[in-house]
Amino acid sequence: MIVEEKISPEQFQPAHIDTGKGEVIEKPSLTFWQDAWLRVRKNKGAIVSMVLLIILIIMAFIGPHINHYGFNDQNLAKANLPPRIPGLEKMGIFDGTQTVAGQKVNLYEQKGIKDYYWFGTDSLGRDLFTRVWKGTRISLYIAFLAAAINMLIGVAYGAISGYYGGKVDNIMQRIIEILSGIPDLVVVILMILVLQPGIISITVALTITGWVGMARVVRGQILKLKSQEYVLAAKTLGAKDGKIIFKHLIPNMASVIIINTMFIIPSAIFFESFLSFIGLGLQAPTASLGTLIEDGYKVLRFLPYQMLFPAAILSIIMIAFNLLADGLRDALDPKMRD
């Protein structure tokens, strides 16, 4: 049964529109960086990578101090012990057992060792847990230092080249072409011949040619921005070239600089690990992820755990930095926005 409802004429009255509310902004305005952070938060891969990197960086500083073993403390009686972790050993994993002649043998009980080595020990009886986090700290230090130097040199060089243009730009770009034509490995070998193998020689080798990519990116941005109205206004008001470059142009390229720097860091970490792996990097007893992987590679068939942990941490760092850099690029680059 259909019930008819009477509609009164008052319901057909036109709605009252307040023209004054047309300009009211209901949603609070966001700055560029606030909007970028909201976009990064939507990227689950970038957030997970950021959390992992924070944990790894914290462990790189506090990890070597968690137990009482030094990174170079040697004890041949405890050499090549497999990992043994409290709690997990009751579950049958990381319980200190190792397969010998087809049978599982608990080396800790066999040698009467009551201590726990969470990542095991190497051929000299050194604690791998301490050495892995010590090596992570050194690898991150070299990478961040090289990335910072590359950023400073590349930004300044590219900004000056792009801003002045003409003969200055032509000469500076020819220098970049010469440097980019020199293989990185050749530069490293020359640095090691001149300097002692170590952190300084690797950092210098990474920075001699590493800033070239940043300089080219910054130069391209400067060429695009230097004809903008705010730059012309600054020139009209009598601002000097240095002030225009470093106060007006470079701050407007902050997103591009951050994105490129984030991609430089994993490349520097991998290059340092590669050099240490082939014997051109850090020398014993100093540990880095590359030297630890190189030591573990020698006994990979018999003691795979010695290579497993440093290789896993290096892989996590590389993947996390690249995913975070991709997330920042999507959030900061206007061309990548929906």
Tell me the pLDDT tens digit for each residue of 248-268. 888 888 888 888 888 888 888
For residue 320, pLDDT over 80 is answered with: yes
For residue 338, pLDDT over 60 is answered with: no
* Nearest alpha-carbon partner for 49 in 281, 322, 285, 333: 322
- The residue extents of the domains of the chain are 44-69+128-332, 82-111
Decide if 307 contacts 290 (C-beta within 8 A).
Answer: no
**How many Cα atoms sit within 13 Å of 321 on the Cβ side?**
23
Decide if 95 contacts 62 (C-beta within 8 A).
Answer: no
Reported confidence tier of residue 3, pLDDT bands at 50, 70, 90: low
Higher pLDDT pick, 283 / 238:
238
pTM of the model: 0.82
Q: pLDDT value at position 278? A: 78
Reported confidence tier of residue 272, pLDDT bands at 50, 70, 90: confident
* Nearest alpha-carbon partner for 274 in 162, 158, 181, 188: 188
Percent of the chain at pLDDT > 90 equals 22
For the segment(s) 44-69+128-332, the CATH number from 3.30.450.60, 3.40.50.300, 1.10.3720.10, 3.40.50.2300 is: 1.10.3720.10
Lowest mean pLDDT among 108-112, 123-127, 159-163, 278-282: 278-282
Reported confidence tier of residue 100, pLDDT bands at 50, 70, 90: confident
- Taking only the tens place, the pLDDT of each residue in 49-68 is 999 999 999 999 998 888 88
Reported confidence tier of residue 19, pLDDT bands at 50, 70, 90: low
Q: pLDDT value at position 204? A: 82
Higher pLDDT pick, 302 / 336:
302
Reported confidence tier of residue 247, pLDDT bands at 50, 70, 90: confident
Reported confidence tier of residue 2, pLDDT bands at 50, 70, 90: low
Mean pLDDT of 89-93: 78
